[in-house]
Amino acid sequence: MDEKRTSWQRKIRRILLFIGAFLLVIFAKPQFPGILIGMVLIFFGEGIRLWAAGHLQKNEVLTVTGPYAYVKNPLYIGSIFITAGFCILAGNIYFLAAAFFMFCFHYIPYKRKVEGDRLKKIFGSQFDDYDEKVPDYLPRWTPYSNEKGSWQFKYVIENSEEGILLIILSGIVLILSRPYWGLIF
């Protein structure tokens, strides 16, 4: 796929994601049990993402430590929990269904192809072995390798996870404050 087309597709996906987030906030009706469950899922998902981002050294080494020792896509797993958490927090089951549909039938197949091809090109047979032995989304019981790698805050920053955390906190504030917007505007 040529770079111009890929860049355009990324922009379209980003625009659709922001439209979806905007609509989720606009139609949010947070209520107690959903607020609690949603917050737990959001912070659990971000915890997974922080753990993964602290081990990930994109395009430098094939990351097989931390959560990557058990599952190939811990960042996506974290994102699934975050998305579910936001939909439950906002009290909108329809957005939850739409998000899971898009994730399962568009995002996963697209990312599998693009990332798999990129990692195979960079890491060759090392990635082939990892790809064969480590599941995409349901973790293994035992680690893929005994390689030791420590979580490092600098990788969190290099992977821009602090920006995701800021977006998450902003989203929570917007959704929880939504019932009061009528009083302000």
Confidence of residue 115 (pLDDT cuts 50, 70, 90): confident
Does residue 1 have a pLDDT over 70? no
Confidence of residue 14 (pLDDT cuts 50, 70, 90): confident
What fold is seen in the domain 20-184?
A: Four Helix Bundle (Hemerythrin (Met), subunit A) (1.20.120)
Number of alpha carbons in the 13 Å side-chain half-sphere of residue 169: 6
Does residue 183 have a pLDDT over 70? no
**pTM above threshold 0.85:** yes
Q: Report the 10 Å Cβ neighbour count for 89.
A: 25
Q: What are the extents of the domains in the chain?
A: 20-184
Residue 114: predicted pLDDT: 83
Residue 30: predicted pLDDT: 96
54-108 per-position pLDDT tens digit: 999 998 999 999 999 999 999 999 999 999 999 999 999 999 999 999 888 888 8
Which token pair is 178? 């939504």
DSSP assigned state of 61? S
CA dist 125 and 81 (Å) reads: 32
Confidence of residue 110 (pLDDT cuts 50, 70, 90): confident
**Would you say 90 and 24 are in contact if contact means Cβ atoms under 8 Å apart?**
yes
Confidence of residue 12 (pLDDT cuts 50, 70, 90): confident
34-58 per-position pLDDT tens digit: 999 999 999 999 999 999 999 999 9
Q: Specify burial of residue 52 (Cβ count, 10 A radius: 0-12, 13-18, 19+).
A: buried
Residues 6+ apart with CB under 8 A from 183: none
Residue 3: predicted pLDDT: 65
* More confident site: 185 or 107: 107
Does residue 31 have a pLDDT over 80? yes
Q: Please state, rounded to an integer, the average pLDDT across all residues of the chain.
A: 91
**Would you say 122 and 59 are in contact if contact means Cβ atoms under 8 Å apart?**
yes
